[in-house]
A and B are shown apart, each in its own frame.
Chain A
Amino acid sequence: MIASARAFWRWLTSMRTALLLLFLLAVAAIPGSLLPQRNLNPERVNQYLRDHPDLGPWLDRLWGFSVYSSPWFSAIYLLLFTSLVGCLLPRLAQHVRALRAVPPDAPKRLDRLPQHASGLAADGAPAAVAEAVAATLRKRRWRVAVREHADGVTVAAEKGYLKETGNLLFHFSLLALLVGVAAGSWYGWEGNRIVVAGPDHGFCSSIPQFDESALGARVGAEDLPPFCLQLDGFDVEYLDSGQPVSFAAHATYTEGLSGAPRQATFSVNDPLRLDGANVYLFGHGYAVIVRYTDRYGVSQTTVAPFLVDDDFLTSHGLAAFPDANIDPTGKAPRSDRAQTAFSCVYLPTVPSDVTLARSAHPAEKNPALMCSAYQGDIGLDTGRAQSVYELDRRQIDSGQLSQVGPETKLAPGESWTLPDGSTMTFLGTRKWAALSVRYDPGQQTVLAGSVVMLAGLLISLTGRRRRAWARVVPDEDGRSLISLGGLPRTEQPSFAVEFSQLVSVIEENHGRTVRPAADVDDPGVRPGNAGVRG
């Protein structure tokens, strides 16, 4: 039992398993990019489910529409991170030990190393020469140990510990990333809403005031920071082609329970950053202002945000008056043709070819509202969810709601009198902005983690661990002979050059005469750096 647990742990923390899990993670990420995902696009998920009545529910059961929060995706990355921890802790311990340890003593035969040089003579006793060589190495930031032996003195040096430090930093910051992401999903929240410009359409940060909201697992409605915001105006600049060039939302907001109102302008790419939440601009459109004067002469005005249909802001929506046509004196009985709604399409710029019901430009160059009027029961009491942009077709199909009069086109300011004598007037438009208010407390951690990760990666990829040794032995004349050897611990083509520079420096500083170079054809010289890869 324990043995097999051990074996499993060994398997889990091996490089091959890490490799396998990395692969699995990559493969597991694919379906989420092919299938629509609930968190990104719930409407397309529903569409998919409607289009694939057989396959859809199965995919749904397998978390196919929420891949990145699915148990199997989580299982893979949690295993990977477990493997990572299991891999890193021993490596960290080993690295700490290596940082404290002295470099290992020189091998018996330096001439078997991939890099070596011999025949350097120096004045002085071996101990003094070795000390001087060690000093030179230290100055070049090698970690050095000098050892005395019966036959001479060895200097062992090692350099490039930073590589492993970088590697550990890189992998540990991956863990930091995971922590940041988790914090964000537990303690973060978001709320979206459409805000029409004007002081009468402001909103405050409470859940019911958002059109939709999502709270992290550890967030309650009472945790949202209090603030209120109103949209004062919204500027867009367009090219003649209709492509927008810039957006700017002007807002007044108050923070806290008793903050002073403050003004701000924010935009796409430039959110409004509040204390404890950011406000992002996601979209914009027109809200249509319609006044309806009913049979009894009672007027009501509504400001209805219209849903955008295309890049040129062709929009559709509904101006509904559920409380219209009720006799204010209470004498006349309530008519079953009382509730009135206008289902309209708004074109900011009517095209020159008027048969097209599509706007020709997103700015209001030649605006028109095309409406169909309906009277009857809008269906608010049916208990069914109602769209605020479209009439419930079932009410129309069942005859409870019917069209009155022809479809009518109105310019701003124009009125239209319905058969029953009531009138509607298209007063104009206001802008609306789609805002998303979000808070992600893990963001800073993730950012810091990725910066450290990149730094660690660079250090790790550019670092080179290598060792060098010198052996100083006395010669017959009471002077010293130095031989040197070098071992790159990872593949590093530049080591040969570094080593020969080192040799020249030692030669310059301490050497006296140079014997003929080591013979490259010496059979003792092993070709290849086969033993030191990886």
Chain B
Amino acid sequence: MWTILGYALAMLGYAAEYAFSSNGVVARVAAAPRRELVTASVGGGPERVHDPLWDDPDGLSSPVADVGTAPSPAGGKGQRAAIFGKIGVALTAVAALAHGGALVTRGLAAERVPWGNMYEFVLAACFVGIVSWLVMLALRPAVRLLGLFVALAQVLLLGFALLVLHTQVAPLAPALNSYWLKIHVSAAALSSGILLMAFIPSALFLARDGWDRGKRSFPYTLGRRLPAADSLERLAFRVTVFGFPIWTFAIICGAIWAEAAWGRYWGWDPKETWSFISWVIYAGYLHARATPSVRRTTATWIGVLAWATMVINLYVINFVAVGMHSYAGVE
């Protein structure tokens, strides 16, 4: 499908930026004086805070051109890298449009919401992921540096969906024909997409953090060119905080639907069980992060683990376990 090709091309752009960026955003991020993070002064309005990943004037609402205000890049190399990165963004946007188009046409073809089976669910969740990524990008241009990994995740997930999960357009089974389905599955896709976007900075934080602590073996070498560890970590936390209530809401809606469809709101069906496990581990992540004696690295590992359970729930449980959620529609 063209969407995947788009993401793959976007990946090339990001990769190029990543490769050339020793003088680019990253270097500036690393060099940005920490002191500037915390000062405000009278009269001149808020001082520009130079934490490109987490410049947060008011929640998620107002964009700040942080890259523009950072010291200008050292030379042509940095600018070339930035151009590649921007090409990557443009390609991502085009691919996202195609992605959205694919969902819409699928919905039209089936005359229903386009998330009635596993293939469509992955498609929808990835779409949410890419849209949240583009929103993040609009708010904080500096996250562009994570683009390589976002595009990589999209290519992998969509590629797998297309090769393994693909199913023909069909109407819903009556058991799925409920408006709670629309709410429950949309919320699940939404939170999965958002939590994917929390997972990426979490994993990158671990790489960067390892690099900072002197690890030089493979996954950590990725960390060298990444934004500062604590801004990655904060980003991951904020995105999780955004996604977790939606996930909670998805589970509650699932329970309401289960009551109407199966006569009980909770029955420890494998899918329910793993949703519960993910939920509990995300709660553990929030606790760990709120506990001063638990290190941020440990907390982030918990967050990564939570994401892993989400993936297990989506991929492994649909294939392996026999449950009532047997609608996955995988042939």
The interface of chain A, by Cβ under 8 A from chain B, is: 15-16, 18-19, 22-23, 25-26, 29-30, 32-34, 37, 39-41, 44, 67-68, 114-120, 181, 190, 239, 241, 243-247, 267-271, 278, 280, 282, 436, 438, 440, 443, 446-447, 450-451, 453-454, 457-458, 461, 491, 493-494, 496-497, 499-500, 503-504, 507, 514-518, 520, 525-529, 533-534
Complex: A15 Cα to B288 Cα, angstroms: 8
- A449 closest partner in B (C-beta): B252
Q: Smallest CB–CB gap between B184 and chain A, Å?
A: 12
- Mark the stretch among B67-75, B84-92, B258-266 that contacts chain A: B258-266
30 residue pairs of the A-B complex, CB under 8 angstroms, read A18-B287, A22-B280, A22-B281, A23-B284, A26-B281, A32-B273, A68-B268, A118-B42, A181-B266, A241-B170, A243-B173, A244-B174, A246-B174, A269-B261, A271-B263, A440-B264, A446-B265, A454-B248, A454-B249, A457-B248, A493-B51, A496-B49, A497-B46, A497-B58, A500-B41, A500-B45, A503-B42, A527-B35, A528-B37, A533-B292
- A248 closest partner in B (C-beta): B174
**Which residues of chain A have C-beta atoms less than 8 A from B170's C-beta?**
241, 243
A269 to B178, Cβ gap below 8 A?
Answer: yes
A16 to B293, Cβ gap below 8 A?
Answer: yes
**Which residues of chain B have C-beta atoms less than 8 A from A244's C-beta?**
173-174
Task: Tell me if B108 is interfacial: C-beta within 8 Å of chain A.
Answer: no
**Which residues of chain B have C-beta atoms less than 8 A from A39's C-beta?**
267-268
| Given A29-B273, A244-B174, A529-B38: A15 and B248 interface contact (C-beta under 8 Å) | no
Q: Interface centre among B54, B234, B245, B269, by most A CB within 10 Å?
A: B245
Interchain pairs with CB closer than 8 A, number? 189
Q: Smallest CB–CB gap between B139 and chain A, Å?
A: 12
Task: Tell me if B241 is interfacial: C-beta within 8 Å of chain A.
Answer: yes
B268 to A458, Cβ gap below 8 A?
Answer: no
**Which residues of chain A have C-beta atoms less than 8 A from B290's C-beta?**
15, 534
B287 to A15, Cβ gap below 8 A?
Answer: yes
Task: Tell me if B31 is interfacial: C-beta within 8 Å of chain A.
Answer: no
- A440 closest partner in B (C-beta): B264
The interface of chain B, by Cβ under 8 A from chain A, is: 34-47, 49, 51, 54-59, 170-171, 173-175, 177-178, 180, 234, 241, 244-245, 248-249, 252, 255-257, 259-270, 273-274, 276-277, 280-281, 283-284, 287-294, 309, 317, 321-323
| Given A443-B259, A528-B38: A19 and B294 interface contact (C-beta under 8 Å) | yes
B39 to A520, Cβ gap below 8 A?
Answer: yes
Query: Which of these, B43, B244, B259, B274, contacts A33 with CB under 8 Å?
Result: B274
**Which residues of chain A have C-beta atoms less than 8 A from B42's C-beta?**
117-120, 500, 503, 507, 514-515, 517-518
**Which residues of chain A have C-beta atoms less than 8 A from B270's C-beta?**
33
Query: Which of these, A29, A67, A517, A528, contacts B44 with CB under 8 Å?
Result: A517
**Which residues of chain B have C-beta atoms less than 8 A from A241's C-beta?**
170
B288 to A19, Cβ gap below 8 A?
Answer: yes
**Which residues of chain A have C-beta atoms less than 8 A from B178's C-beta?**
269
**Which residues of chain A have C-beta atoms less than 8 A from B276's C-beta?**
26, 29
Q: Smallest CB–CB gap between B229 and chain A, Å?
A: 14
Known: A243-B171, A529-B38. 18 other contacts (CB 8 A): A26-B277, A37-B268, A115-B38, A116-B40, A181-B266, A269-B260, A440-B264, A451-B252, A454-B252, A493-B56, A494-B57, A496-B38, A496-B47, A499-B40, A503-B42, A518-B42, A527-B37, A528-B38
A494 to B261, Cβ gap below 8 A?
Answer: no
**Which residues of chain B have C-beta atoms less than 8 A from A23's C-beta?**
280-281, 284
**Which residues of chain A have C-beta atoms less than 8 A from B245's C-beta?**
454, 457-458, 461
Q: Smallest CB–CB gap between A160 and chain B, Å?
A: 14
- A464 closest partner in B (C-beta): B59
**Which residues of chain B have C-beta atoms less than 8 A from A443's C-beta?**
259, 265
**Which residues of chain B have C-beta atoms less than 8 A from A525's C-beta?**
35, 38-39
**Which residues of chain B have C-beta atoms less than 8 A from A529's C-beta?**
37-38
Complex: A447 Cα to B55 Cα, angstroms: 38
B54 to A493, Cβ gap below 8 A?
Answer: yes
A115 to B252, Cβ gap below 8 A?
Answer: no
| Given A26-B277, A457-B245: A527 and B38 interface contact (C-beta under 8 Å) | yes
**Which residues of chain A have C-beta atoms less than 8 A from B37's C-beta?**
527-529
Query: Which of these, A22, A30, A269, contacts B174 with CB under 8 Å?
Result: A269
**Which residues of chain B have C-beta atoms less than 8 A from A526's C-beta?**
38
Q: Smallest CB–CB gap between B245 and chain A, Å?
A: 5
**Which residues of chain B have C-beta atoms less than 8 A from A26's C-beta?**
276-277, 280-281, 284, 309
Query: Which of these, B38, B51, B58, B262, contacts A494 with CB under 8 Å?
Result: B58
- B49 closest partner in A (C-beta): A496
Complex: A446 Cα to B177 Cα, angstroms: 24
Q: Interface centre among A37, A497, A529, by most B CB within 10 Å?
A: A497
Complex: A438 Cα to B37 Cα, angstroms: 59
B175 to A269, Cβ gap below 8 A?
Answer: yes
A32 to B268, Cβ gap below 8 A?
Answer: yes
- B263 closest partner in A (C-beta): A280
Q: Smallest CB–CB gap between B284 and chain A, Å?
A: 4
Closest 10 CB pairs of A and B: A493-B56, A517-B41, A280-B263, A33-B270, A117-B42, A527-B35, A269-B178, A33-B273, A22-B284, A15-B291
